[in-house]
Amino acid sequence: MITCSKERMEDLIVTFSKFGDAGHGGITRYSLSPEAHQARDEFVKRMKAIGATIETDDLANVYATIPGSDSNAKRIVMASHVDSVKNGGNYDGVLGVLVGMEAMQTIVENKIPHTHPITTMIWTNEEGSLYPPAMMSSGVVANDYLPEAIAKKFKLENMLASKSVLDKTKTFGEALDASPYKGDKSNRLNPDKYKAMFELHIEQGPILEDAGNEIGVVTCVLGMFNYRIRFYGQADHAGTTPMHKRQDALFAAAKALVFLHEEIDKLGRPELVYTTGEIVCHPCVHTVIPDMIDFSIDVRHEDPAVRQQVLDIIKSLDGKTIEKCKCEVELAWQRDTVYFNKELVGFVKESADELGISNQYINSGAGHDAQFASYMMPTTMIFVPSKDGHSHCEPEFTTVEQCTAGASVLMHAILKTDKK
Ligand SMILES: [Zn+2]
């Protein structure tokens, strides 16, 4: 079987690591920044060199397409992002674009026959690190197909007004207007012109590495919910209020958090993940007993029945009084598990098996552009290992061999999709 080139893969990784190089092993490459434009320029230069046609849409998403034998056939697209978080690594996002480039070059070089045009695409502003929210342009492009509660969070006019987190004034829309890559809305990814979308991404967790597998055949993006849990107490002086008279909202919240961990762990679901990552304390003064604590709890699991069990535990706190403080529980937001297209998932599995590359089924705990695209057209994802499970940081690492194996699996999955 034809496989992708390790030498070219390495050259791609090294070259793109220079755009936004932060000087200590990683990059800071905000969307629509000069660095992000350098990455797009390099992408365009290399894709033109293999005979690809370049298009851009109104969100500066970039598409490089090589023709198939049937110019009227729908395109098959490999898509990811080249923007990063602050002090991110050299693999999150960009690898999905680089493997697309490498797969297309291998197809062109080996003159592998295919019917459908094949496209590699760069999504704009997946991380949302400078202009929130994350997955912005896939949220806009797939908006008509998304569940209403998600769609309303990605209305184009609101996205264009999103302000830079750095200078608090410049908007995403202004950055877009200034970008040479802003193009025509008619070029947007859409199910009339595109048959299927693939996104290869680093796993961002330790599961593949721990299992010794090189490829994750992704089946779904986990369903999740996010609740806010609040406790109301009484603010009083830290030096004059006896302990037994206090209504300390932070102490109550701490007890509730321990209760949640103990009860949720009793469910005995090692694949269940839950996180309290945000806490608001009022008045947050070291001499004052807190009178209000508001904390988040983010819960992710594939099975809605398991999520419901966790929800029952969380809701058992609602209206309860702990340490003389009343508890209130409120839904922030939720989404169902997004299952990828079964046929495409099968093509990924078959390709890895036929290439003799160790693989396993896996789900995605993180959100990706592919999850929005999957509401619009057949879509799936491929994971490659992340060393020590690290991502969104400079130690992020995947070996060249693993990246190349990912490119080969992706290419063969594309070719299988082409034949179908
Ligand atoms: Zn990413």
Q: What is the pLDDT of residues 109-147, one digit of tens each?
A: 999 999 999 999 999 999 999 999 999 999 999 999 999
Q: What is the pLDDT of residues 187-215, one digit of tens each?
A: 999 999 999 999 999 999 999 999 999 99
Residue 45 alpha carbon to ligand 1 centre in Å: 23
Residue 67 alpha carbon to ligand 1 centre in Å: 28
- Per-residue pLDDT band at 3 (split at 50, 70, 90): very high
pLDDT reported for residue 274: 98
Residue 58 alpha carbon to ligand 1 centre in Å: 21
pLDDT reported for residue 414: 98
Q: What is the pLDDT of residues 12-71, one digit of tens each?
A: 999 999 999 999 999 999 999 999 999 999 999 999 999 999 999 999 999 999 999 999
Enumerate the domain spans of the chain. Answer: 6-221+337-419, 223-335
Residue 199 alpha carbon to ligand 1 centre in Å: 10
Residue 134 alpha carbon to ligand 1 centre in Å: 10
Mean pLDDT along residues 363-392: 96
pLDDT reported for residue 83: 96
Residue 240 alpha carbon to ligand 1 centre in Å: 51
Residue 79 alpha carbon to ligand 1 centre in Å: 11
Count CB atoms within 10 A of the CB of residue 169. Answer: 8
pLDDT reported for residue 95: 98
Residue 208 alpha carbon to ligand 1 centre in Å: 17
Q: Name the least confident of 22-26, 297-301, 322-326, 370-374.
A: 22-26
Mean pLDDT for the chain overall: 97
Write out the two tokens for 360. 């396993």
Q: For the CA atoms of the chain, what is the radius of gyration?
A: 24
Contact 220, 302 (CB under 8 A): yes
pLDDT reported for residue 379: 98
Residue 276 alpha carbon to ligand 1 centre in Å: 22
Q: Which helix (H) or strand (E) holds 177?
A: helix 172-178
Residues 6 or more apart whose CB falls under 8 angstroms from that of 296 comprise: 226, 227, 228, 229, 275, 276, 277, 278, 279, 332
Rounded Cα gap, residues 358 and 372, in angstroms: 28
Topology at the third CATH level for domain 6-221+337-419: Aminopeptidase (3.40.630)
User: Of all residues in the chain, what percent carry a pLDDT higher than 70?
Assistant: 100
Count CB atoms within 10 A of the CB of residue 241. Answer: 16
Rounded Cα gap, residues 157 and 201, in angstroms: 29
Residue with tokens 């993006």: 221
pLDDT reported for residue 88: 95
The CA angle 226-129-92, to the nearest 5 degrees, is 90
Q: Which helix (H) or strand (E) holds 408?
A: helix 400-419
Residue 274 alpha carbon to ligand 1 centre in Å: 21
Rounded Cα gap, residues 312 and 315, in angstroms: 5
* Type of residue numbered 66: I
pLDDT reported for residue 20: 96
Q: What is the pLDDT of residues 400-419, one digit of tens each?
A: 999 999 999 999 999 999 99
pLDDT reported for residue 76: 98
Rounded Cα gap, residues 359 and 361, in angstroms: 7
Residue 107 alpha carbon to ligand 1 centre in Å: 25
pLDDT reported for residue 384: 98
User: Of all residues in the chain, what percent carry a pLDDT higher than 90?
Assistant: 99
pLDDT reported for residue 292: 98
Residue 406: burial class (beta carbons within 10 Å; 0-12, 13-18, 19+) = buried
CATH class, domain 223-335, is alpha beta
What is the torsional sign of CA 175, 179, 185, 188? Answer: negative
Contact 64, 104 (CB under 8 A): yes
Residue 165 alpha carbon to ligand 1 centre in Å: 19
pLDDT reported for residue 87: 95
Mean pLDDT along residues 278-293: 98
Residue 297 alpha carbon to ligand 1 centre in Å: 23
Residue 135 alpha carbon to ligand 1 centre in Å: 9
Contact 164, 171 (CB under 8 A): yes
Residue 124 alpha carbon to ligand 1 centre in Å: 11
pLDDT reported for residue 390: 95
pTM (predicted TM-score):
0.93
Rounded Cα gap, residues 259 and 312, in angstroms: 13
pLDDT reported for residue 305: 97
Task: Give, as one character, the DSSP assignment of residue 388.
Answer: G
Rounded Cα gap, residues 239 and 142, in angstroms: 56
Mean pLDDT along residues 318-331: 98
141-150 burial string, b = 16+ CB within 10 Å, else e?
Answer: bbbeebeeeb
Residue 5 alpha carbon to ligand 1 centre in Å: 23
pLDDT reported for residue 36: 97
Contact 379, 211 (CB under 8 A): no
Residue 234 alpha carbon to ligand 1 centre in Å: 43
Write out the two tokens for 107. 């197809």
